[in-house]
Amino acid sequence: MSGFLELVSASRIYRTIPTILAILVPAAFADKIAPELGVLILSCILIYAVASIHNAKKDNDYSLPEYYREVMIGLAAIALAIASSSRTVFFTAIAWIALGLFYNTIARRMLFGDNTVLAITHFGLPVFSSSIITGIDARTTAILTAFTFAAFWFESCFSILKV
Amino acid sequence: MGDISANSFELVLFVIAMILILSDKTDKKAYHNKVRLAMVLFLFGLIFGKTNNLSIILLSSAICAAYLIAMLPIEAIKNRAEAALR
What are the DSSP calls for A56-118, one per residue? HHHHT-S---TTHHHHHHHHHHHHHHHHTTSHHHHHHHHHHHHHHHHHHHTGGGSTTHHHHHH
| Total of domains in chain A | 1
Q: Do B50 and A144 touch (CB under 8 A)?
A: no
For chains A and B, count residue pairs whose Cβ atoms are closer than 8 Å.
84
Closest CA to A131 of A76, A92, A82, A100: A92
Mean pLDDT across A34-45: 92
Parent domain of A86: 2-161
CATH number for A9:
1.10.357
DSSP per-residue string spanning A6-64: HHHHHH-GGGGHHHHHHHHHHHHHHT---HHHHHHHHHHHHHHHHHHHHHHHHHT-S--
Residue B78 C-alpha, separation from nearest chain A C-alpha, in angstroms: 21
- pLDDT tens for chain B, 86 residues: list them: 445 555 656 666 666 666 666 666 666 667 777 777 778 888 888 888 888 888 888 988 898 888 888 777 777 777 777 787 77
Q: Between the ranges A6-15, A47-56, B70-79, where is the mean pLDDT highest?
A: A47-56
Residues in Cβ contact with B39 at an 8 Å cutoff, skipping those fewer than 6 apart: A18, A151, A152, A155, B17
Q: Provide the pLDDT for residue A37.
A: 92
Q: Tell me the pTM.
A: 0.81
Q: Which of residues 4-33 of A touch B (CB under 8 A)?
A: 14-15, 17-18, 20-22, 24-25, 27-33
d(CA B37, CA B19): 11
